[in-house]
Amino acid sequence: MPAEWATTTLADATDALQVLSELRGKRWLCRGQPKCYGGLVPTIDRDRLEKLSRVEKLMLERRSIDLFRSTARFFSDQGEQLALDQDMVALMVLRNYHVPSRILDWSLSPWVAAYFAVQNHDTDDGEIWAFDEPQYQHEGAKQWTRWPETARGGDFDPGLTAFLIQEPPDWFVCYFYKFGFHRQNAQQGAYSMTARFGRRHDEAIAGLFADPSHYRRYVIPAKLKPELRTTLREGHGVWRGSLFPDSAGAAETAGAVFPADGE
């Protein structure tokens, strides 16, 4: 675990709900993970994809984007239409449908993050990573003055350097897609991305903030998961059915009635 991230282990459900309420009040962005993986690593940098070169990963990104556009242009909803023209939006949509990506998703709702931390793996501790989004807006903007090639007219434009074949500036960005689409809106989602592959997002976040009090990791002990799942659903309306409000999500929810080995 990177030393820069202070970690708090939640004592019980009451403690967990108190922390979630505080995070909401501070408008921190949160990300839940059902196991303690030791960092924030995008799916394109995991497992068998990890050792691929930058060129190989760029080619896979391009193929996935092009295939998505060729098949989705006739049925994508209004919020997804920009994905047909803007590569960054395409990656955000694909991330929501579990396509490997250098993007990680976050939520302005700590309860949504908590759901993803407790949804399964009941014998493993879960975790919530959180950072100060309002303060990030100030600290993150300093990058674009350091690397003027990343900005156009003073505003950051990821398309200028994110897809370069040569190694780009080492920037990190977290942003909201204002037009949204069903899953993003239900999950109050935001997205983080690095220009470079193989860049852990926890390390990039820690590198932006001079004061480590602006980010923290919370561990949810395995024994608390069942109780928190019930509380999130009954007290906050947060469960799989509410977070995946589309046909694919509804089908996955319906499929959960069958035993896991019933395929």
pLDDT digits (tens, 9 = 90+) for 52-88: 999 999 999 999 999 999 988 877 778 788 778 889 8
Task: Quote the domain boundaries for residue 156.
Answer: 7-237
Q: How far is CA 261 from CA 160, 235, 256, in A?
A: 46, 31, 11
Look at residue 147 and tell me if it is in a domain: yes
Predicted local confidence at residue 195, as pLDDT: 95
User: Region 240-260: what's the mean pLDDT?
Assistant: 87
Look at residue 49 and tell me if it is in a domain: yes
Least confidently predicted of 133-137, 142-146, 212-216: 142-146
Compute φ and ψ for 201, nearest 5 degrees.
Answer: -70, -30
Predicted local confidence at residue 205, as pLDDT: 97
The closest alpha carbon to 110, from 220, 241, 253, belongs to: 220
Predicted local confidence at residue 263, as pLDDT: 43
The closest alpha carbon to 225, from 130, 134, 123, 142, belongs to: 123
End-to-end CA distance of the chain: 37
Look at residue 261 and tell me if it is in a domain: no
Band of pLDDT at residue 3, cut at 50, 70 and 90: very low
Predicted local confidence at residue 247, as pLDDT: 84
Locate 253 and state its tokens: 């929810």
Distance between CA atoms of 19 and 48, rounded to whole angstroms? 36
pLDDT digits (tens, 9 = 90+) for 90-109: 999 999 889 999 999 999 99
Give 28's strand partners: 132
- Looking at per-residue pLDDT, the higher value among 159 and 135 belongs to 135
pLDDT digits (tens, 9 = 90+) for 140-172: 999 998 999 998 887 888 889 999 999 999 999
pLDDT digits (tens, 9 = 90+) for 19-28: 999 999 999 9
Compute φ and ψ for 253, nearest 5 degrees.
Answer: -65, -45
- Residues contacting residue 124 through CB under 8 Å, at least 6 positions apart: 34, 35, 36, 222
Predicted local confidence at residue 261, as pLDDT: 61
Split into its structural domains, the chain has a count of 1
Distance between CA atoms of 68 and 241, rounded to whole angstroms? 24
Above 60 in pLDDT, residue 262? no
Look at residue 246 and tell me if it is in a domain: no
Q: Among residues of the chain, what percentage have pLDDT more than 90?
A: 72
Strands annotated E in the chain: 7-9, 28-33, 104-107, 126-132, 151-152, 155-156, 172-175, 189-194, 215-220
Residue 202, number of CB atoms within 10 A of its CB:
22
Determine contact, residues 29/130, Cβ cutoff 8 Å: yes
Look at residue 247 and tell me if it is in a domain: no
Determine contact, residues 43/100, Cβ cutoff 8 Å: yes
Above 50 in pLDDT, residue 200? yes
The closest alpha carbon to 42, from 8, 108, 91, belongs to: 91
Predicted local confidence at residue 73, as pLDDT: 80
Above 70 in pLDDT, residue 2? no
Look at residue 226 and tell me if it is in a domain: yes
Distance between CA atoms of 162 and 194, rounded to whole angstroms? 8
Look at residue 251 and tell me if it is in a domain: no
Look at residue 2 and tell me if it is in a domain: no
Question: Could you tell me the sign of the dihedral formed by the alpha carbons of 197, 199, 202, 208, in that order?
Answer: negative
- Residues contacting residue 186 through CB under 8 Å, at least 6 positions apart: 242, 243, 244, 245
